[in-house]
Amino acid sequence: MNWLVWQQHRKQFLIFALLAVIFAAVTVPTGLHMWHVYQQSLANCGTHDTCATLGNTLFKHGLENAMFLIVKAVMIALPILLGIFLGVPLVAKEYLEGTNKLIWTQSVSRKTWLTAKLAWTLGVTVVLAGAFTALTTWWSRTGNALYDDKFGALNFGIQGVAPVGYALFAVALGIFLGVWLKRTFLALGVTLAIFLVIQLAFPLIVRQHYIPTKTATIGLKDSNSNISEPPAPNNDVGAWVVNGHVVDKTGVPIDWANPPQQCRANAPGPNQTTADRAKGVELKPGDAIVGADGGAPSSFLCLKENGYSWSVRYQPSDAYWKFQFIEVGIYAILALVFVALTYKLVLSRDV
């Protein structure tokens, strides 16, 4: 069986292996150089007091700037490409070309045949996705150090171990849909649609519930002119802030449509119109309420003086690996479900 699987599928296996080599050829030199530049900047920033803002100045041009985008794009595309080119045709092509009738009447049972094909394909998927993910994780150390945002929606899913789970799931899903629908292009489209929906659902809805969130109360800053974004706890800048509200002393969230009378700003923010002012100023998330003299926003200071603060729910940055393993585990289980469905269909269905 191994001989046949290799004869049939080595082309796809080798093309993906070649892509991994190309990816390494790009990430290794840029990764080394960027880390070097970062270390140098770190050594020099003390004299100019710019250490905290290196992320605003480094790697803003050329290839290294583009690499942040390229690496993300490659890692988002990888599971989809594996699912479409390794998964969907794996068994579907045999149904389409009728070769299942040739192979299922040799002296090897369908189960043995399917097991060999699945073991090879899922094994190659793990190795390839593992290689891409290891390279990305290593390459991302500069960005992680600069931005401290490993929980970010686009960072979490391309580093660590989670991408291996995505790839396994996409391939298993593709295999199953290929067998079930027996039409390559239809299966390809459905695989893509289901995969994308699930990939969006995880960061938006599912992931935050892996472990109970922690709560922190964070004081309002004098200079904070943008009140729409809940901040991370001061002692854990890399934490994942799930949500947050500005609350009063008793913990009741502020009603932005009807802010406390004493804090209504007497100067307009840039987003406010004269008509708004005539109605009485409303504080809204996203409105910058800057004082007329360009100093601290008066209403904001007022809120602070009246005991308002941010109450945020967050996942601490040291829970990162726990999240990675929970995520890869869930995706691996989903992949197993589709593997089991594939067995059921292939073994029981007429040709």
Partner 1 sequence: MDQDIMVRTRDLAKRYGLFWALKNCTIVVPRGSITALVGPNGAGKTTLLKIIASLNKPSKGDIAVFGLQPSQSHEYLAEIGYLAQEIPLYNQLTAAQHITMGSKMNGRWDNELAQSHLERLGIPLDRAVDKLSGGQRAQVGLAIALAKKPKLLLLDEPVAALDPLARADFLSSLAEASADAEGDLTVIMSSHLLSDLERICDHVIILAAGETQLCDSIDQAVWSHKTLIGSSNLRTDDPSFTVIQQIKSAKQTRLLVRLANPDTIPSNWHAEATDIEDIVLAYMGRHKGDNTGGKL
Shorter beta-carbon distance to partner 1: residue 85 or 104: 104
Any idea how long the chain is? 351
Judged by CB under 8 A, which of 49, 255, 293, 350 binds partner 1? 350
Shorter beta-carbon distance to partner 1: residue 49 or 350: 350
Judged by CB under 8 A, which of 57, 106, 215, 266 binds partner 1? 106
Q: Could you count the other beta carbons within 10 Å of the beta carbon of residue 60?
A: 9
- Residue 244's beta-bridge partner residues? 312
Q: Could you count the other beta carbons within 10 Å of the beta carbon of residue 66?
A: 12
Q: Which residues of 211-233 are buried (b: 16+ CB within 10 A; e: fewer)?
A: eebeebebebeeebbebeebbbb
Give the residue carrying structure tokens 């109450």.
Answer: 311
Judged by CB under 8 A, which of 21, 28, 57, 97 binds partner 1? 97
Residue 158 CA from chain centroid, whole number: 6
Shorter beta-carbon distance to partner 1: residue 110 or 141: 110
Residue 77 CA from chain centroid, whole number: 12
Q: Which stretch binds partner 1 (CB under 8 A): 2-10, 76-84, 197-205, 231-239?
A: 2-10
Is residue 237 part of the contact set for partner 1 (CB under 8 A)? no
Is residue 115 part of the contact set for partner 1 (CB under 8 A)? no
Is residue 108 part of the contact set for partner 1 (CB under 8 A)? yes
CB of 132 to partner 1, least distance (A): 27
Q: Which stretch binds partner 1 (CB under 8 A): 59-67, 95-103, 191-199, 252-260?
A: 95-103
Is residue 1 part of the contact set for partner 1 (CB under 8 A)? yes
Alpha helix ranges (H) inside the chain: 2-48, 54-57, 62-82, 88-97, 99-103, 110-139, 141-147, 153-156, 162-181, 184-201, 274-279, 298-305, 320-348
Q: Which stretch binds partner 1 (CB under 8 A): 54-62, 219-227, 272-280, 343-351?
A: 343-351
CB of 4 to partner 1, least distance (A): 5
Site string for partner 1, 53-92 (x = CB under 8 A): ----------------------------------------
Q: Could you count the other beta carbons within 10 Å of the beta carbon of residue 337?
A: 14
Is residue 229 part of the contact set for partner 1 (CB under 8 A)? no
Is residue 3 part of the contact set for partner 1 (CB under 8 A)? yes
Is residue 343 part of the contact set for partner 1 (CB under 8 A)? no
170 contacts 80 by C-beta, under 8 angstroms = yes
Q: Could you count the other beta carbons within 10 Å of the beta carbon of residue 235?
A: 8
216 contacts 312 by C-beta, under 8 angstroms = yes
DSSP state letters, 127-168: HHHHHHHHHHHHHTHHHHHHH--TTSHHHHTTSTTHHHHHHH
Judged by CB under 8 A, which of 105, 235, 261, 273 binds partner 1? 105
CB of 96 to partner 1, least distance (A): 10
Residue type, 28: V
Is residue 43 part of the contact set for partner 1 (CB under 8 A)? no
Is residue 102 part of the contact set for partner 1 (CB under 8 A)? yes
Judged by CB under 8 A, which of 72, 110, 182, 264 binds partner 1? 110
Is residue 109 part of the contact set for partner 1 (CB under 8 A)? yes
265 contacts 283 by C-beta, under 8 angstroms = yes
Judged by CB under 8 A, which of 98, 212, 270, 294 binds partner 1? 98
Residues that bind partner 1 (CB under 8 A): 1, 3-4, 7-8, 97-111, 347, 350-351
